[in-house]
Structure formats: structure tokens, C-alpha cells
């Protein structure tokens, strides 16, 4: 969606770019540095380390930091698993405290610091309207986001081809996780990842499934919510506060489910609902 206004930005404003290690934030960093005309010293890039990223994501941040623009790593107070332990449950699409604690709060603290030091700050994100219904509603410029300053989404009308092209143009490879079957890059796995991504992780990175299984046992909580799979894949059960018995899938159930259906047989027909992606712009 095109913007209905373009604000007056002071010449000395600092442009903060949140980088996730994913394709869109990589594209916006490349565009800001090489094509926006904004002097490099006015560009400030950060990466929120959730403590639950794949090694290839850390490698991608290093590549971008070395070859495109220095990226500062922000650490939340508690990493993904410490947060889950603290809350005695994993986050879910209904209780998505992960994005807020792992990404939004550390970025807000950083933007506060920039505002104190430089006064005028613009938060730049690589969100594109083509990615989801929710993101299609976002404007190129707005003040209504989670950050404490104006938000700018210069790639809002970009297509995936534009994202691939700018990486190729400046000789920056994309995160290897895409080649391995990930559609989005973030926590590995993300609580909102798709069925085919779970299947791909189980096949190519079984150690991540082992990690989740161990954490489920440690916390006594399932990584995915009951709605993630049909009930026939629920091997867990508990009694809720109302005294009702509810069932849910453990990670091994979710993996079993991920190996079923048309997609597992190589067809990508959309026969089952998938979780919606986050529109905050903090998680790819």
C-alpha cells in the first residue's frame, strides 16, 4: 500500500534498521546502504538475538555486518528458553509474548537510546505487503507501530523478485535456511512455523527436534498448542482450571503430523490451515 503522506525528516535523522538474518531485512539494509542516498553514518543496524536462532542465521548476520553495514547485536533480558521457563509455558499465536520480550522490548530500549543521543530517529523495516493479508494493510510511513518514532517501510511494494535481485546485485547470498526449506527466518523453529517447515526441520535438523523434546520434558509444557494438529495426533493430556481434560500434541506428535498429507507427498496444495504470520515487522 502506498503512503498517503511523506513526513518531513530532519537532515540529521538516524535511520534504525532491525535485521533478522532473513531476506527482507537483508534487502532493506542493502537498499538503505547502497540505494537510498542516506549517508552511511546515519544508518544504524541491530539484530535481536533470541538465543533460539540457527547457526546459519548468526552466520548471515556476520556476512551482512562484514560486507554491508555493521550490525550491533541486542540481547533481551531472557532468551527464548529462559523466557518460556520463566512463564512456565511456551509462547503461542494467542499468547505471543516472545516477539514482545525478545524483539520489541530490546529494540525499543535501543531506539530510546538513539532518541536521547540523536533526537530524530526513523525506524526502517523490510516489511512487504505481498507477504500476508495483515502486512498488505500497512502503510509505507506511519507513527502507529511498536516503536517510539516514525516507521518507514520502503520495500512495502516490493515483490520477492526485487528482494532476490538486490541480494544478487550486491553479491550477498541469502540465509542458507531458505535452501533448506524455511520460508521465514527467525527462531528455529518459530512457534508459528508451517507444516512443511516442521517436516523439513525434522528431516534436516533432527537435533532441533531433540532440543524441543528435552525442553518440553524440562518445562512440562508442549511447544505447539493443541490447535496445531488434528486431535488424533494428540498424545498429551492434562486437566485445565475448569476441571476438564484437554489434549495436546508434543513435538514428536507434531513431527508425525508434518509427515502426512498432500504436501508430504510432494504436492503443495493448501489443504490445511496454517498459522498467520506476524505483522509486527519484528519477526519475518
CB of 168 vs ligand SF4, minimal distance in Å:
26
Does 28 bind ligand SF4 (CB under 6 A)? Our answer is: no
- Mask for 182-221, x = binds ligand SF4 (CB under 6 A): ----xx--xxx-----------------------------
Q: Measured at CB, which residue is nearest to ligand SF4?
A: 186
Stretch that binds ligand SF4, among 23-31, 94-102, 157-165, 263-271 (CB under 6 A): 94-102
Minimum distance between the CB of residue 100 and ligand SF4, rounded to whole angstroms?
8
Q: Between 191 and 255, whose beta carbon lies closer to ligand SF4? A: 191
Binding ligand SF4 (rule: CB under 6 A), the pick from 22, 26, 91, 281 is 91
Q: Does 98 bind ligand SF4 (CB under 6 A)?
A: yes
Instruction: Give the per-residue SS3 of the chain.
Output: CCCCCCCCCCCCCEEEEECCCCHHHHHHHHHHHHCCCCCHHHEEEEEECCCCCCHHHHHHHHHHHHHCCCEEEECCCCCHHHHHHHHCCCCCCCCCHHHHHHHHHHHHHHHHHHHHHHCCEEEECCCCHHHCHHHHCCCCEECCCCCCCEEECCCCCCCHHHHHHHHHHCCCCCCCCCCCCCCCCCCCCCCCCCHHHHHHHHHHCHHHHHHHHHHHHHHCCCCCCHHHCCHHHCCEEEECCCCCEEEECCHHHHHHHHCCHHHHCCCCCCCCCCCCCCCCCCCC
The answer to the question of residue 251 lying near ligand SF4 (CB under 6 A) is no
Residues in touch with ligand SF4 (CB under 6 A): 50, 91, 96, 98-99, 102-103, 186-187, 190-192, 278, 283
Amino acid at each position: 500500500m502506498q503512503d498517503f503522506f511523506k513526513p518531513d525528516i530532519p537532515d540529521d535523522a538516524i535511520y534504525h534498521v532491525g535485521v533478522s538474518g532473513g531476506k527482507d531485512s537483508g534487502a532493506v539494509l542493502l537498499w538503505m546502504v547502497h540505494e537510498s542516498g542516506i549517508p552511511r553514518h546515519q544508518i544504524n543496524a541491530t539484530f535481536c538475538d533470541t538465543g533460539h536462532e540457527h547457526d546459519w542465521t548468526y552466520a548471515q548476520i556476520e556476512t551482512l555486518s562484514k560486507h554491508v553495514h555493521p550490525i550491533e547485536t541486542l540481547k533481551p533480558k531472557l532468551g527464548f528458553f529462559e523466557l518460556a521457563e520463566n512463564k512456565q509455558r511456551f509462547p503461542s499465536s494467542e499468547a505471543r509474548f516472545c516477539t514482545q520480550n525478545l524483539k520489541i522490548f530490546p529494540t525499543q530500549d535501543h531506539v530510546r537510546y538513539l532518541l536521547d543521543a540523536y533526537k530524530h530517529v526513523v525506524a526502517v523495516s523490510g516489511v512487504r505487503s505481498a507477504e500476508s493479508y495483515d502486512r498488505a494493510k500497512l502503510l509505507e510511513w506511519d507513527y502507529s507501530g511498536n516503536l517510539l518514532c516514525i516507521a518507514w517501510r520502503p520495500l512495502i511494494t516490493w515483490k520477492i523478485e526485487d528482494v532476490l535481485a538486490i541480494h544478487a546485485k550486491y553479491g550477498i547470498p541469502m540465509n542458507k535456511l531458505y535452501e533448506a526449506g524455511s520460508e521465514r527466518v527467525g527462531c528455529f523453529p518459530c512457534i508459528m512455523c508451517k507444516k512443511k517447515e516442521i517436516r523439513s526441520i525434522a528431516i534436516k535438523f533432527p537435533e532441533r527436534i531433540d532440543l524441543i523434546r528435552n525442553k518440553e520434558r524440562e518445562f512440562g509444557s508442549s511447544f505447539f498448542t493443541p490447535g496445531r494438529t488434528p486431535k488424533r495426533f494428540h498424545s498429551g493430556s492434562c486437566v485445565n482450571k475448569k476441571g476438564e481434560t484437554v489434549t495436546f500434541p508434543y513435538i514428536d506428535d507434531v513431527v508425525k503430523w508434518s509427515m502426512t498429507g498432500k504436501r508430504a507427498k510432494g504436492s503443495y496444495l493448501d489443504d490445511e490451515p496454517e498459522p498467520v504470520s506476524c505483522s509486527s515487522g519484528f519477526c519475518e
